Amino acid sequence: DAGITQSPRHKVTETGTPVTLRCHQTENHRYMYWYRQDPGHGLRLIHYSYGVKDTDKGEVSDGYSVSRSKTEDFLLTLESATSSQTSVYFCAISVGLAGKVGELFFGEGSRLTVL
Protein backbone atom coordinates (compact mmCIF):
# COMPACT_ATOMS: atom_id res chain seq x y z
CA ASP A 1 0.00 0.00 0.00
CA ALA A 2 1.10 3.53 -0.74
CA GLY A 3 2.10 5.56 2.28
CA ILE A 4 1.87 9.32 2.59
CA THR A 5 2.92 11.40 5.54
CA GLN A 6 1.97 15.04 5.82
CA SER A 7 3.64 17.38 8.27
CA PRO A 8 2.75 19.28 10.25
CA ARG A 9 -0.75 17.94 10.82
CA HIS A 10 -1.84 21.11 12.59
CA LYS A 11 -0.39 24.59 12.49
CA VAL A 12 -1.47 28.00 13.72
CA THR A 13 0.42 30.96 12.35
CA GLU A 14 0.11 34.70 11.94
CA THR A 15 -0.62 36.71 8.84
CA GLY A 16 2.51 37.50 6.87
CA THR A 17 4.62 34.60 8.08
CA PRO A 18 5.96 31.94 5.72
CA VAL A 19 4.67 28.39 6.07
CA THR A 20 5.88 25.16 4.50
CA LEU A 21 3.87 21.97 4.44
CA ARG A 22 5.62 18.73 3.62
CA CYS A 23 4.32 15.65 1.86
CA HIS A 24 6.41 12.51 1.94
CA GLN A 25 5.63 9.29 0.07
CA THR A 26 7.26 5.95 0.68
CA GLU A 27 7.06 4.73 -2.93
CA ASN A 28 8.20 6.14 -6.24
CA HIS A 29 4.94 7.51 -7.56
CA ARG A 30 5.46 10.07 -10.27
CA TYR A 31 2.41 12.29 -9.85
CA MET A 32 1.82 14.24 -6.66
CA TYR A 33 -0.80 16.87 -5.90
CA TRP A 34 -1.66 19.51 -3.33
CA TYR A 35 -5.33 20.29 -2.78
CA ARG A 36 -7.08 22.56 -0.35
CA GLN A 37 -10.47 21.73 1.11
CA ASP A 38 -12.92 24.41 2.15
CA PRO A 39 -16.61 24.12 3.05
CA GLY A 40 -18.78 24.48 -0.03
CA HIS A 41 -15.85 24.26 -2.40
CA GLY A 42 -14.86 20.63 -2.23
CA LEU A 43 -11.23 20.01 -3.16
CA ARG A 44 -9.42 22.52 -5.31
CA LEU A 45 -6.06 21.86 -6.90
CA ILE A 46 -3.24 24.17 -5.87
CA HIS A 47 -0.21 22.68 -7.64
CA TYR A 48 0.82 19.33 -8.95
CA SER A 49 4.04 17.59 -9.93
CA TYR A 50 4.74 15.07 -12.65
CA GLY A 51 8.35 14.39 -11.70
CA VAL A 52 11.40 15.75 -9.94
CA LYS A 53 11.62 19.47 -10.61
CA ASP A 54 8.51 19.24 -12.83
CA THR A 55 5.58 21.14 -11.38
CA ASP A 56 2.62 23.09 -12.66
CA LYS A 57 -0.15 25.31 -11.35
CA GLY A 58 -3.66 24.30 -10.48
CA GLU A 59 -6.79 26.41 -10.28
CA VAL A 60 -5.96 28.17 -6.98
CA SER A 61 -2.19 28.59 -7.15
CA ASP A 62 -1.94 32.31 -6.27
CA GLY A 63 0.02 32.79 -3.06
CA TYR A 64 1.49 29.29 -3.14
CA SER A 65 4.69 27.77 -4.47
CA VAL A 66 5.92 24.19 -4.56
CA SER A 67 9.13 22.29 -4.91
CA ARG A 68 10.03 18.72 -5.65
CA SER A 69 13.74 18.04 -5.40
CA LYS A 70 13.29 14.33 -4.66
CA THR A 71 10.70 11.86 -5.88
CA GLU A 72 9.44 11.20 -2.39
CA ASP A 73 8.98 14.79 -1.18
CA PHE A 74 6.61 17.49 -2.38
CA LEU A 75 6.69 20.77 -0.47
CA LEU A 76 3.99 23.43 -0.45
CA THR A 77 5.05 26.93 0.64
CA LEU A 78 2.94 29.91 1.54
CA GLU A 79 5.42 32.77 1.17
CA SER A 80 3.34 35.18 3.24
CA ALA A 81 0.31 33.56 4.79
CA THR A 82 -3.07 35.31 4.69
CA SER A 83 -6.30 34.54 6.51
CA SER A 84 -7.86 33.35 3.24
CA GLN A 85 -5.35 30.52 3.26
CA THR A 86 -6.83 29.07 6.43
CA SER A 87 -7.85 25.64 5.20
CA VAL A 88 -7.21 21.93 5.31
CA TYR A 89 -4.50 20.91 2.87
CA PHE A 90 -4.32 17.46 1.37
CA CYS A 91 -1.45 15.87 -0.44
CA ALA A 92 -2.21 13.04 -2.84
CA ILE A 93 -0.37 10.67 -5.12
CA SER A 94 -1.69 9.11 -8.28
CA VAL A 95 -1.62 5.33 -8.10
CA GLY A 96 -2.50 2.59 -10.54
CA LEU A 97 -1.62 2.31 -14.23
CA ALA A 98 1.56 4.38 -13.76
CA GLY A 99 -0.50 7.20 -12.33
CA LYS A 100 -2.18 7.89 -15.64
CA VAL A 101 -5.81 7.68 -14.63
CA GLY A 102 -5.88 10.04 -11.70
CA GLU A 103 -6.78 7.51 -9.04
CA LEU A 104 -5.59 9.23 -5.90
CA PHE A 105 -4.32 8.09 -2.55
CA PHE A 106 -4.55 10.87 0.04
CA GLY A 107 -2.63 11.88 3.08
CA GLU A 108 -4.39 12.62 6.36
CA GLY A 109 -4.39 16.36 5.79
CA SER A 110 -2.74 19.41 7.36
CA ARG A 111 -5.01 21.87 9.11
CA LEU A 112 -3.64 25.41 8.82
CA THR A 113 -5.05 28.38 10.67
CA VAL A 114 -3.81 31.86 9.81
CA LEU A 115 -4.65 34.47 12.43
Partner 1 sequence: AQSVTQLDSQVPVFEEAPVELRCNYSSSVSVYLFWYVQYPNQGLQLLLKYLSGSTLVKGINGFEAEFNKSQTSFHLRKPSVHISDTAEYFCAVTITHSGGSYIPTFGRGTSLIVHP
109 is a contact residue toward partner 1 (CB under 8 A): yes
102 is a contact residue toward partner 1 (CB under 8 A): yes
Number of residues lying near partner 1 (CB under 8 A): 28
Those residues with Cβ within 8 angstroms of residue 78's Cβ, 6 or more apart along the chain or in another chain: 18, 19, 20, 63, 64, 85, 112
58 is a contact residue toward partner 1 (CB under 8 A): yes
CA triplet 96, 68, 7: central angle to 5 degrees? 85
Smallest distance from the beta carbon of 109 to partner 1, in angstroms?
5
- 63 vs 109 by CB, closer to partner 1: 109
43 is a contact residue toward partner 1 (CB under 8 A): yes
DSSP 7: E
